[in-house]
Amino acid sequence: MAAGASIRVLLATCVLAVGASGCATRPTPSVPLAAAAPADDALYRALGGQAGIEGIVDDLLDVVVEDERINFQFALANIVRLRGMLIAQFCSVSGGPCRYDGLTMEEAHAGRGITTAQFNALVENLIRVMERRGVPVAAQNRLLRRLAPMHDDVVGP
């Protein structure tokens, strides 16, 4: 299982590193997330609905705080707001009944000097958390594919 998980980390890293170049429907920073909203709520349900997504985000934040590759980035963060925004965003991108009305990914991450290695560390943590919570691999990959186009807006000077 460990080998399987690490292969998927590599796969995810590839998907995310090439960013949206292979994605036909890449949202630009100025396009609201709703524009890229999926047509159905199958992924939302596969993630466990609202309770499942809240659990994923809570676990993710717990892991991130312990991860010395990236926790310094969150030293001044408003974790309560971040939690709420991540839940709304994951719900929205997975086709759930939520609207994400937070900052664009470009606005939220500008000036933080986030690197691709840090981005991939966060993704690795997300995979680990979903794995631990028993989210089916196909659903994990679908969520990762929907987050991948955000790479270029998150990473930067």
Residues forming the site for ligand HEM (CB under 6 A): 70, 73-74, 77-78, 81-82, 85-86, 89, 102-103, 108-109, 112, 114, 118-119, 122, 147, 150, 154
- Least separation in angstroms between residue 56's CB and ligand HEM is 12
Of 13 and 118, CB closest to ligand HEM:
118
Interatomic CA distance for residues 139 and 146, integer angstroms: 11
- Please tell me whether residue 44 adopts helix, strand or coil conformation: helix
Of 19 and 46, CB closest to ligand HEM:
19
- Least separation in angstroms between residue 30's CB and ligand HEM is 15
Angle at 101 between CA 59 and CA 58, to 5 degrees: 5
Of 3 and 141, CB closest to ligand HEM:
141
Interatomic CA distance for residues 13 and 116, integer angstroms: 9
Q: Check if the beta carbon of residue 60 is closer than 8 Å to that of residue 9.
A: no
